[in-house]
Structure 1
Amino acid sequence: MSLSGALYNAFSGLRANTRAAGLVSTNISNATTEGYGRRTLELTPGSLGTSGGVRIAGVIRHSDPVLVSDRRVSDASLAHSDTMYTYSKRLESLIGESDTAGSLVSRVTAFENSLLSAATNPASEQRLENVATAATSLTQTLNALSDEIQQSRQNADSAIADQVTTLNETLARLDQINGDMVKASSTGTDVATLQDERNRLLDSISSIVPLRVVERDRGEIALFTMNGAVLMDGSPVEIEFSEVNAIGAAMTLSAGDLNGLTVNGIPVNSTETGMFAGGSLAAQFEIRDVTAVENQAELDAIARDLIERLGPSGPDTTLGATDPGLFTDAGIAFDPLNEEGLAGRIQLNSLVAPDSGTVWRLRDGLGAATQGEVGDGRLLQSIAAALTEATVPSSASLPSVSRSFVNHISEYSSSVAGTRVRAENERSFLSAQNTALSELELSKGVDTDQELQNLMQIEQQYAANARVMTVVDELMERLMAI
């Protein structure tokens, strides 16, 4: 080999060593950077007509597309489960545990106990006031639960709007990166940084909807949901959603009161069986249109059962057929055709409201013209008995089985608690699965110990190439001196 050939070989090696050392430095500094892929230098033998050496063919970005895809699907499943768990946990905390003061069950128990206490001494105005206070606390708890359920639906509607905005903005950015990738592939520019940014963006929306990424020519990607909706293929779609200002108990998607998703102006199925199913976006629709609606319907049915037990056909014989009973629908008689949202409107009859001065009507009847025998506690006993009597509820939202009012409350509380337990178990499993996939993905990322070993090898190779250049320089000086 000629001296010039040896010098060229050593120079090409130094150049490759310098670039490789820079990549190692970049790998180590980004070891914990989200979406970063480990880089290595791709080298090829020197081209024909040279004395050998090495040529830098490019930079290789290492990743496991199958593992990344599995982890992103897991991100979506975990986000869906976490959203459902958060809702069920919130509702359970508002209902409260049965033995906790202020819980729904304890409110019913306090109302029953106040009736029994007043029945033992019906002449005591204080005990009658306690009945009115306990009844008011019960209605206020039902009102608060109803308000919270509707607020959860409103929050879900707002979250859908925010997530749709995030999807559209991210898809627009991914489309720009697709264009940059095409330009880079045409000029031979390193695309590893663009790939990092693209992966970061994909990860940012992987929890909203489960993604399927398909590689296209020249570095472009197409993006689909796991259920087949096209998000980007050549150009991104436009996902649209209109948020509503306030959601009431009677407002539903099927009735046209609420909005679903549209893709490029075409309505799509927004339910758990639709093309966007599986992530946090679908979970918000499930809360808004299914779960919270069912919770509200059961709560309204319970409120209806309470009103009807103590209404005109109940123990108070002083009531007329159209008179409001002990509990009313916002102060008026309950209309069976207006059950939706009843739990948010139920109130104690103002004739026996606390501090009204007419709580004696609890003892003598709401329709009584004057006070009766102060020692007569039969009506109070009958009201208490009506609460414990097993009857078939009128509402279709409750099972057609004879149960007491207390049993309806207990079963509702238990049902919500059971839903929370199931959601928590699913969330724990999916969280463990997601953690395992994330750790496996990280294990295939930057290993700082290995990178330091690589750096030591690069230093040795650099020193060897530098030594070759020094020797060549010395030989050329001797030749010039001859």
Structure 2
Amino acid sequence: MTISSALSNAMTGLRAAGRNSETISANIANAMTPGYGVRSLDLSSSQIGGVNIDGITRNVNPALLADRGLADAAFNNANDRTIFLKGYEDTLGTPDTANSLSARVAEFESQLITATSRPDAPERLEGVVNAARDLATLISSASNDIQESRSEADRNIGIQVDKLNSSLAGVKELNVQITKTAVLGGDTSALQDNRQALVDEISSIVPVRQIPRDNGQIALYSTGGVILIDGGVAEIEFSPVNQVTPYMTLAGGHLSGLTIDGYPVRTDSARGALGGGSLGAQFEIRDELGVDAQTQLDALSRDLIERFQDPAVDASLAVGDAGLFTDSGIAFDPLNEVGVSERLSINAAVDERQGGEAWRIRDGINAAVQGDVGDSRLLQSLSSTLSAKRVPATGDFGSGAFSAINLVATLTSQLGADRAQAEQSQTFASTQLNELTQLVFAEGVDTDQELQRLLLVEQAYAANARMISAADEMMQTILRL
């Protein structure tokens, strides 16, 4: 080997060591960067001596990343559903908590019994009115919370659709840049990292399958079978509303669904084209969970109103008159049940806050003057109708007959079961996501291994530097002869 070839070999070794140290440093610096794929420098022996730098390889496990993306979507879906159900349950309260729906029905019943024993005591009559008002207020507040959750879900859908469209456009642009860079012989690793980060964002919204295409490009398909990107990009459209009301439903045409490239697609939880992630969960909250919760609460409110507007219970009432509980001050109309829980209130005739008198609880809602202060027959009738078993006219409570407290217990137990099932799904999805995330990190940057590689690179750098120094000394020796 000539001195010049030895010097040339050493120089290529120095360049390779320098490039390798840059690659290792980038790996260590990005050990926790989302979407980052660990790099390794590809080297080979040159036919004329020395070392060739063939390129950089980005080492990732596509199957593992895909499974992690699907797990992320499943967790977001389960988490959003759990948050809604837990929030609704907190509003109604569990039977063992004070101020819960069950507790307020029990308090109303207790106040009626107390007033029955002393119908002449104004404070006991006022206690009945206050308990009835508290019960109506809680139900109305729960209905408002349901609609606010539906409104928030509608807003979230709009935000996520915009983010989805933006991320898909970003993936398309990166596909083009990766192809151009690869054709020119450049390093596409950073571009692929950016693209993977966008794919991870998309996966949290919609579960997708990633399919490799020629020249380093990828295609994305939703698990519901929609082509999101495959050369061209799908255009997803949605029109949010400012406020969702009980009357507004997707089936009724009051709320927007999704269109993809101008064609409407299903958004239900069973067969939604983009279901399974956080976007699907928001549609489920707005169009299924929220609607079902409102329907059940309306059925409960209807049962409560109808119990007390019956002339057989209060002889002062005529057919069509409002009883103790009203639909915004009027009698309940079976053709206007939707949203009745939001409009539930007590009759102004007994409410001192609305100019009424509490003694009408004892003497009749439509009584013009006070009757016998010792007459407890109406109070007994009100107490009896509250505990009487009736078959609910609407709602999903089964075919049995229920007292008011039993109907409330059935509603809250159904809600508790749904919440528990959602939490179970959330726990499973969270565990799966954590395990897959750990596996991704395990196959990512191992800082200990990278530091060991860096030590070897330093040794190689020192050896090549020594070779250059030795060649220089030999050249100096020759020149001095």
- TM beyond 0.5: yes
Question: Do the aligned partners of 1:227 and 1:277 also contact (CA within 8 Å) in 2?
Answer: yes
Q: Give structure 1 stretches of 5+ with no counterpart.
A: none
**What residue in structure 1 maps to residue 155 of structure 2?**
158
Question: Do the aligned partners of 1:314 and 1:386 also contact (CA within 8 Å) in 2?
Answer: no
**What residue in structure 1 maps to residue 31 of structure 2?**
31
**What residue in structure 1 maps to residue 475 of structure 2?**
476
**What residue in structure 2 maps to residue 330 of structure 1?**
328
- How far residue 368 of structure 1 moved from its aligned partner, in angstroms, is 2.7
Question: Do the aligned partners of 1:85 and 1:427 also contact (CA within 8 Å) in 2?
Answer: yes
- How far residue 4 of structure 1 moved from its aligned partner, in angstroms, is 2.3
**What residue in structure 2 maps to residue 237 of structure 1?**
234
Q: Give structure 2 stretches of 5+ with no counterpart.
A: none
Task: Measure, in 2, the Cα distance between the counterparts of 1:157 and 1:396.
Answer: 25
- How far residue 398 of structure 1 moved from its aligned partner, in angstroms, is 3.3
Using structure 1 for the length normalisation, give the TM-score.
0.97
What is the identity, as a one-letter code, of the residue corresponding to 1:473? D
Question: Do the aligned partners of 1:133 and 1:354 also contact (CA within 8 Å) in 2?
Answer: no
Asked whether 1:385 is paired with 2:390, we answer no
Matches within 5 A, 1:278-289: 278-289=276-287
Task: Measure, in 2, the Cα distance between the counterparts of 1:136 and 1:59.
Answer: 72
Task: Measure, in 1, the Cα distance between the counterparts of 2:407 and 2:95.
Answer: 13
Asked whether 1:118 is paired with 2:118, we answer no
What is the identity, as a one-letter code, of the residue corresponding to 1:37? G
**What residue in structure 2 maps to residue 442 of structure 1?**
441
Matches within 5 A, 1:131-146: 131-146=128-143
Asked whether 1:364 is paired with 2:363, we answer yes
**What residue in structure 2 maps to residue 463 of structure 1?**
462
Matches within 5 A, 1:27-176: 27-47=27-47, 50=48, 52-176=49-173
Task: Measure, in 2, the Cα distance between the counterparts of 1:395 and 1:468.
Answer: 91
Asked whether 1:343 is paired with 2:324, we answer no
Question: Do the aligned partners of 2:21 and 2:457 also contact (CA within 8 Å) in 1?
Answer: yes
Task: Measure, in 1, the Cα distance between the counterparts of 2:46 and 2:214.
Answer: 28
Task: Measure, in 2, the Cα distance between the counterparts of 1:37 and 1:322.
Answer: 72
- How far residue 27 of structure 1 moved from its aligned partner, in angstroms, is 1.2
- What SS does structure 1 have at the residue aligned with 2:219? strand
What is the identity, as a one-letter code, of the residue corresponding to 1:230? I
List per-residue Cα deviations over 1:372-426 (Å, max 9, x = no partner).
Answer: 2110101101111111111111224432211111101111111112221111121
- What SS does structure 2 have at the residue aligned with 1:33? coil
List per-residue Cα deviations over 1:331-359 (Å, max 9, x = no partner).
Answer: 11111111110100111111111354522
**What residue in structure 1 maps to residue 10 of structure 2?**
10
Matches within 5 A, 1:282-301: 282-301=280-299
Task: Measure, in 2, the Cα distance between the counterparts of 1:450 and 1:309.
Answer: 75
Instruction: Name the stretch that deviates more: 419-428 or 464-473.
Output: 464-473
What is the identity, as a one-letter code, of the residue corresponding to 1:80? N
- How far residue 158 of structure 1 moved from its aligned partner, in angstroms, is 0.3
**What residue in structure 1 maps to residue 411 of structure 2?**
412
- How far residue 448 of structure 1 moved from its aligned partner, in angstroms, is 1.2
What is the identity, as a one-letter code, of the residue corresponding to 2:67? D
**What residue in structure 1 maps to residue 305 of structure 2?**
307
What is the identity, as a one-letter code, of the residue corresponding to 2:15? R
- How far residue 99 of structure 1 moved from its aligned partner, in angstroms, is 3.0
- What SS does structure 2 have at the residue aligned with 1:212? strand
List per-residue Cα deviations over 1:208-251 (Å, max 9, x = no partner).
Answer: 11111111111111111122111111122111100012211121
- What SS does structure 1 have at the residue aligned with 2:205? coil
**What residue in structure 2 maps to residue 184 of structure 1?**
181
- What SS does structure 2 have at the residue aligned with 1:250? coil
Instruction: Name the stretch that deviates more: 306-315 or 264-273.
Output: 306-315
- What SS does structure 1 have at the residue aligned with 2:352? coil
- What SS does structure 1 have at the residue aligned with 2:335? coil
**Alpha-carbon spacing, 1:301–1:357, altered in 2? closer, same or farther (3 Å):** closer
What is the identity, as a one-letter code, of the residue corresponding to 2:318? G
- How far residue 285 of structure 1 moved from its aligned partner, in angstroms, is 0.4
Task: Measure, in 1, the Cα distance between the counterparts of 2:100 and 2:233.
Answer: 49
- What SS does structure 2 have at the residue aligned with 1:282? helix
RMSD, aligned CA: 1.4
Task: Measure, in 2, the Cα distance between the counterparts of 1:64 and 1:348.
Answer: 64
List per-residue Cα deviations over 1:153-179 (Å, max 9, x = no partner).
Answer: 000000000000100111111111111
What is the identity, as a one-letter code, of the residue corresponding to 2:366? G
What is the identity, as a one-letter code, of the residue corresponding to 1:222? A
Task: Measure, in 1, the Cα distance between the counterparts of 2:44 and 2:352.
Answer: 90
- How far residue 319 of structure 1 moved from its aligned partner, in angstroms, is 1.1
Question: Do the aligned partners of 1:308 and 1:314 also contact (CA within 8 Å) in 2?
Answer: no
**How many equivalent residue pairs?**
479
- How far residue 106 of structure 1 moved from its aligned partner, in angstroms, is 1.1
Asked whether 1:426 is paired with 2:425, we answer yes
- What SS does structure 2 have at the residue aligned with 1:207? helix
Question: Do the aligned partners of 1:223 and 1:230 also contact (CA within 8 Å) in 2?
Answer: yes
What is the identity, as a one-letter code, of the residue corresponding to 2:68? R
What is the identity, as a one-letter code, of the residue corresponding to 2:33? T
Task: Measure, in 1, the Cα distance between the counterparts of 2:449 and 2:171.
Answer: 33
Question: Do the aligned partners of 2:397 and 2:411 also contact (CA within 8 Å) in 1?
Answer: no
Asked whether 1:264 is paired with 2:261, we answer yes
Task: Measure, in 1, the Cα distance between the counterparts of 2:165 and 2:92.
Answer: 38
**Alpha-carbon spacing, 1:315–1:105, altered in 2? closer, same or farther (3 Å):** same
- How far residue 461 of structure 1 moved from its aligned partner, in angstroms, is 1.1
Task: Measure, in 2, the Cα distance between the counterparts of 1:72 and 1:108.
Answer: 46
- How far residue 142 of structure 1 moved from its aligned partner, in angstroms, is 0.7
List per-residue Cα deviations over 1:301-351 (Å, max 9, x = no partner).
Answer: 000001111112441122111111221111111111111101001111111
- What SS does structure 1 have at the residue aligned with 2:318? coil
- How far residue 125 of structure 1 moved from its aligned partner, in angstroms, is 1.4
Task: Measure, in 2, the Cα distance between the counterparts of 1:396 and 1:43.
Answer: 71
Question: Do the aligned partners of 1:184 and 1:190 also contact (CA within 8 Å) in 2?
Answer: yes
Matches within 5 A, 1:209-228: 209-228=206-225
Question: Do the aligned partners of 1:253 and 1:260 also contact (CA within 8 Å) in 2?
Answer: yes
Question: Do the aligned partners of 2:295 and 2:395 also contact (CA within 8 Å) in 1?
Answer: no
Question: Do the aligned partners of 1:146 and 1:299 also contact (CA within 8 Å) in 2?
Answer: yes
What is the identity, as a one-letter code, of the residue corresponding to 1:5? S
What is the identity, as a one-letter code, of the residue corresponding to 1:457? L
Task: Measure, in 2, the Cα distance between the counterparts of 1:19 and 1:125.
Answer: 91
- What SS does structure 1 have at the residue aligned with 2:390? coil
